[in-house]
Amino acid sequence: MTMPPTSNQTPREEVSVGSQPEDDTSNSNKDSSLSEKSDAPSEAFNPGWRFIVAYASLCIILLMSALDATSISVALPIMAKALGGTALEAFWSGSSFLLTSTVFQPVVGSLSHIFGRKPMIYVSLGLFLIGSIVPAVANDFTVLLVGRSIQGIGGGGIIVLTEIVVTDMVPLRERGKWFAMFSAMWSVGTVTGPLLGGGFSQNVTWRWIFWINLPFLGIGFVMITLFLKLNFPTSGWLSKLRRVDWVGLVLFVGSMTGFLIPVTWGGVQYPWDSWRTLVPLIISVFGLIVFIIHQERWAAEPLIRTSVFKNTTSAVTYLSTVIHGVILWSVLYYLPLYYQCVKDLSPIMSAVALFPMTFTVAPAATVTGILIAVTGKYRWAIWSGWFLTVFGSGLMILLAVDTTTVEWIFLTLIAGIGTGILFPAMTIATQAAASGRDQAYAATMFAFTRALGQTLGVALGGVIFQNQMKKKLLTFPLLTEHAEEYSRDAAGLVEIIKQLPDGLMKTQLKEGYTDANKYVWIFVTALSAVALVASMFTKAYALDQTNESEQGFKEKQKIVDTEASS
């Protein structure tokens, strides 16, 4: 959506640091004088009913993706038994979605600049459809794994494209409100996903976890076709194919996959010091370095624009976004296990026990997005969000074997508010720091770094859990010989503890589990503190900027063209 300049709009360089983001070397003197104050009014933005319905269609497909990302987790033991699979196969069935979703988000985002947002949405929906049907009819874990991997590509595409489309359609100052609703959809999806998965697998059949996606896909497809009308300059398919950075695409997908797979299996399938873990990690890191050099020097139309990282605000915010993802997924993975193992809750009730944290994310994100749009300022939200996240994570360290229900409700409440505030605040910060031509790329990188953090969260938490659990069990004479076996898998240990009769061994295992989880919360708190300190370097940019996208909403574009001609 290209907005023509008007007489009352202040150019961005008069308010912040120029039409491009600040360069840390040449503009270091300007950094200290930046201010969020702006006398320029935001672009008039009065979305009509077609825009609202089009946005609702994006919310529907995003909710579907969030539901599917989390619904399978509680059903894996039942699925493993039904398909005769091993614990390792069940583990990969859960991890493959997140892995492929992470890897392909930048790819889908980049291709949408060439082939158009809407065609890539259709491609993502198609992959998600295939990835839903294949697992639903699977009779072994190999087929299930293939389907989940395909579904992850489609889900990752849906996640990144919804954020890019809003970036195209909505002026920067107003985006916080609309991104907040996406945060709400993701929050609802992550909360209700395990409930649906547990309900279907226990009371109907686990296959409905995948069949339930079809109505969402159908509704989303129809609504997007009818109401999501986007501008896009057309050209021939051959010319589009020639624009694709094929070398960069192969380097990125290969290297990132080679990096995330050993990170995912480290300590679960192979030890961290095994050559099977270390060799692919080293090769992949080298491949990523080559990819960055290629993007910087040789790519005519880069898969990832490195310019979005080249200022203080972007660098610290993307780093914080990775940390945000690590925190979220560490909590979403290890906190339910604490409820199941230590508090003897069922998988479904453990999802309910997450409500104090997960149901505070959406209201916090919504209120923050509205306040950013009203005030035109975002740094207060980043700082307060990280402060509350540090404080809330620190409170979770107090969770113990004998913690009461009332106590753990309040101990987990603050972290939800803090992480919720950060969703829209960091999104706006990365886009405010980017140039007009890089807005969609900034949205892509925000989605990718958050997903990368989520993928790393379970793996890093697993390393800490395994080491501390083993150390603790070695102090119990009854459990010394089982220390290596029991500390290997946090999820698998839950079932072992549940099947043990009441007695000293079960009590000590619960103590060890709580102690190991405590060190995960210490790690999360330390990471939050790093992000809080890093956020102090966030610079202020005016949010009253023209929207330079060529793929804006057609209804809005017609209104602008009419006003310009009059």
pLDDT bucket at 4, cuts 50 / 70 / 90: very low
Pick the residue with more confidence: 554 or 206?
206
- 128-155 residue pLDDT tens: 999 999 989 988 888 888 999 999 999 9
How many residues in the chain? 566
pLDDT score recorded for residue 555? 57
3-state secondary structure of 535: helix
Number of helices (H), then strands (E), belonging to the chain: the values are 23, 0
Regarding whether 177 and 103 lie in a shared domain, the answer is yes
Query: What's the pLDDT score for residue 176?
Result: 81
Structure tokens at 455: 């993928």
Task: Look at residue 433 and tell me whether its pLDDT is greater than 60.
Answer: yes
Identity of the residue numbered 338: Y
Per residue in 274-297, pLDDT (tens digit) is 888 889 999 999 999 999 999 988
What are the CA-CA distances from residue 348 to residues 67, 73, 164, 351 (Å)?
A: 14, 11, 34, 5
| pLDDT given for residue 26 in this prediction | 36
pLDDT, the chain, mean:
81
The arithmetic mean of pLDDT across residues 343-357, rounded, is: 81
Distance CA 247, CA 225 (A): 33
- What tens digit of pLDDT does each residue of 355-372 get? 888 788 888 888 998 899
Q: Please indicate, yes or no, whether residues 85 and 113 belong to a single structural domain of this protein.
A: yes
Query: Is 365 found in the same domain as 283?
Result: no
Last residue of a domain, one of 300, 329, 347: 300
Question: How large a percentage of the chain has pLDDT more than 70?
Answer: 86
**Owning domain of residue 116:** 49-244+301-475+509-554
Residue 549's pLDDT is what? 66
Same domain, 365 and 449: yes
* Distance from C-alpha of 530 to C-alpha of 433, rounded to nearest angstrom: 21
What integer pLDDT is reported at residue 39 of this predicted model?
Answer: 40
Q: What is the mean pLDDT of residues 90-94?
A: 74
pLDDT in tens, 25-83: 333 333 433 444 344 444 456 777 888 888 888 888 888 888 877 777 767 767 777 78
Q: Is residue 22 part of a domain?
A: no
**Coil, helix or strand for 266?**
strand
CA 158, 164, 169, 170 torsion-angle sign: positive
DSSP-derived secondary structure for 163-219: HHHHHHHS-GGGHHHHHHHHHHHHHHHHHHHHHHHHHHHHHS-TTHHHHTHHHHHHH
Last residue of a domain, one of 300, 317, 335: 300
Which range among 35-44, 221-230, 348-357 has the greatest average pLDDT? 221-230
Q: Is residue 564 part of a domain?
A: no
Same-domain status, 169 and 180 = yes
491 occurs within a structural domain: no
Q: Is residue 38 part of a domain?
A: no
Note whether residue 56 is domain-resident.
yes
Mean pLDDT of 322-327: 93
Judge whether 8 lies within some domain: no
Report pTM.
0.83
Residue with tokens 């040449």, as numbered in its chain:
26
Q: Which of 34, 227, 60, 210 is nearest to 128 (CA)?
A: 210
Structure tokens that stand for 367 in this block: 């209120």
- Residue for token digits 């700082």? 383
- The separation between the first and the last C-alpha atoms of the chain, rounded to the nearest angstrom, is 19
User: Do residues 462 and 502 lie in contact, with contact meaning Cβ atoms separated by under 8 Å?
Assistant: no
| Sign of the CA dihedral running 501, 507, 512, 514 | positive
Dihedral angle over CA of 363, 366, 371, 377, nearest 10: 120
What distance in Å separates the CA atoms of residue 490 and residue 335, rounded to the nearest whole number? 11
For 500-515, the pLDDT digits (tens) are: 888 888 888 888 888 8
Helix (H) or strand (E) holding 123, with range, is helix 117-136
100, 152 Cβ separation under 8 angstroms: yes
Give pLDDT tens digits for 514-559.
Answer: 888 899 999 999 999 999 999 999 999 988 776 666 666 665 444 4
Question: CA-to-CA distance for 289 and 302, rounded, in angstroms?
Answer: 15
Using the structure block, give the residue that is written with the tokens 């529907």. 60
Residues 461, 533, single domain; the answer is yes
Residue 486 has a pLDDT of 77
Same domain? 276 vs 345: no
Based on the domain organization, do 456 and 516 belong to the same domain?
Answer: yes
Q: Is 328:270 a contact under the CB 8 Å cutoff? A: no
Asked whether residue 15 carries a pLDDT value surpassing 60, the answer given is: no
Stronger pLDDT, 441 or 80, i.e. the higher one: 441
Among the listed residues 170, 115, 240, the one whose alpha carbon sits nearest the alpha carbon of residue 424: 170
- Neighbour-count burial of 467, counting CB atoms closer than 10 A to its CB (0-12 exposed, 13-18 middle, 19+ buried): middle
Residue pair 445/164 in contact (Cβ under 8 Å)? The answer is no
Q: How many folded domains does the chain comprise? A: 2
Quick one: 518 and 396 in the same domain?
Answer: yes
CATH of the domain at 418: 1.20.1250.20
pLDDT (0 to 100) of residue 45: 66
Distance CA 121, CA 553 (A): 15
Average pLDDT over residues 448-457: 88
Domain boundary, last residue among 257, 273, 300: 300
CB 422 within 8 A of CB 324: yes
Report the pLDDT averaged over residues 91-103: 84
- CA gap 138, 83 in Å, rounded: 9
Residue 432 has which token pair? 């405010």
Query: Are residues 253 and 271 both part of a single domain?
Result: yes
Q: What is the pLDDT of residue 134?
A: 93
202 inside domain: yes
Between 397 and 489, the more confident residue is 397
Per-residue DSSP letter, 502? S
| 130 and 263 fall within a common domain | no
Both 253 and 199 in one domain: the answer is no
Q: Tell me if 146 is assigned to some domain.
A: yes
